[in-house]
Amino acid sequence: MPRVFSGIQPTGEPHIGNYFGAMQNYVKLGNLYGKNSIYCVVDLHALTSPTSFDRELLSQRTFEMALANFAVGLDPQQVTFFVQSHVPEHQELSWIFTNITPVGDLERMTQYKDKTEKLESIPAGLLMYPVLMAADILLYKADTVPVGEDQTQHIELTREIARKFNHAFGETFPEPKAEYNRQALRIPGVDGNGKMGKSKGESSTIGLLEPLDSIWQKLRVAPTDPARVRRTDPGDPDKCLIGDYHKLFSDLPTIDLVYQGCRTAGIGCVDCKKLLLQSMTGHLTPIQERAQELRGDPDYVRDALAQGAREARAIAAPIMEEVRTKVGFLKL
């Protein structure tokens, strides 16, 4: 049976891009592979964001990300779910991998170049981010990694690190493959400026647990097909982010109504947005209600994370001991 690993950052409020791009897939794979599905909130990776050095904020966001995953249906009794920093073997393996990874390989990473473009002082953590990611995956000898397209380079580097370690110290790690969620590879931001992402701020994102009134205020002013200058102008829903959102949230009859209505000017953009809000309400309300229940029982979330960390360490510890032996660390 495949062993799946994926991590999700707690750098901001969970949004619908996280949900369709990762969290939904976690539930599906958990149903297929049970405890061989290993997921964690990667709080160590989050430290590459300057705002994460707010102690209370990092802790709160880590808790909220775990809570959100449970609210969408991830069962901590079925999968292994934990917080990255609660399993110290991640850092230890990362340091070993750091010493077999050329700096040039890391400097060629597209995400590194994009993120450092506007920085005056570049933290070393941004450069080493892919090495820690490789350690996250290989620590559990995972062979399947659900990721977005923007992580392709990092998976290729992980495969290269596995090959280098195996060549230097003997066959140890599999070369993992990426598994892409084709349903939602690129969800546009609600402001119309590129992909939805936490780093772009609240104006770009629709929070998974955001109040519906607040979501409507964002949808109300969201850009639509620029060809629809007047109510009577026909448009192309494939060129409209509201059309993209309908494909995620709405049922087929609603999508057909919206697409036909847009192309014939049978409905206006405001009507289209109101139909979208109805679909989103039906989809998000059960998740938000479950999240509210979990907030009323925070010990459930904390106990689940503690249990997940114990399960993760039970897998990681013997693999890390194998690595120490092969590398040649002194045993006492």
195 is catalytic: yes
Q: Would you say 60 is a known binding-site residue?
A: no
Q: Would you say 273 is a known binding-site residue?
A: no
Q: Would you say 233 is a known binding-site residue?
A: no
Q: Would you say 328 is a known binding-site residue?
A: no
Q: Would you say 149 is a known binding-site residue?
A: yes
The angle subtended at Cα 139 by Cα 129 and Cα 18, nearest 5°, is 55
In angstroms, the CA 244 to CA 266 distance is 19
Q: Would you say 267 is a known binding-site residue?
A: no
198 is catalytic: yes
Q: Would you say 199 is a known binding-site residue?
A: yes
Q: Would you say 198 is a known binding-site residue?
A: yes
Q: Would you say 9 is a known binding-site residue?
A: yes
Q: Which two tokens stand for residue 48?
A: 């590459």
Residue 257, amino acid? L
Q: Is the dihedral of CA 146, 148, 154, 160 positive or negative?
A: positive
Q: 35, 195, 200, 326: which is the annotated catalytic residue?
A: 195
| Cross-sheet strand order for the sheet of 177-180 | 80-83, 37-41, 4-8, 144-147, 177-180
What is the number of alpha carbons within 13 Å of residue 161 lying toward its C-beta?
Answer: 32
Q: Would you say 187 is a known binding-site residue?
A: yes
Q: Would you say 121 is a known binding-site residue?
A: no
DSSP state of 83: E
Write the CB contacts of 104 (distance below 8 Å, at least 6 apart in sequence): none
Q: Would you say 35 is a known binding-site residue?
A: no
Write the CB contacts of 175 (distance below 8 Å, at least 6 apart in sequence): 143, 159, 162, 163
Q: 115, 141, 200, 326: which is the annotated catalytic residue?
A: 115
Q: Are 30 and 78 in contact (CB under 8 A)?
A: yes
Residue whose C-alpha is closest to residue 268's, from 239, 249, 242: 242
Write the CB contacts of 220 (distance below 8 Å, at least 6 apart in sequence): 270, 273
Distances (CA, A) of 253 to 206, 246, 330: 24, 11, 66
Residue whose C-alpha is closest to residue 316's, from 135, 161, 49, 193: 135
Q: Would you say 23 is a known binding-site residue?
A: no
Binding residues for ATP: 9-11, 17-18, 148-150, 187, 195-199
Binding residues for L-tryptophan: 136
Catalytic sites, residue numbers: 115, 195, 198
Binding residues: 9-11, 17-18, 136, 148-150, 187, 195-199
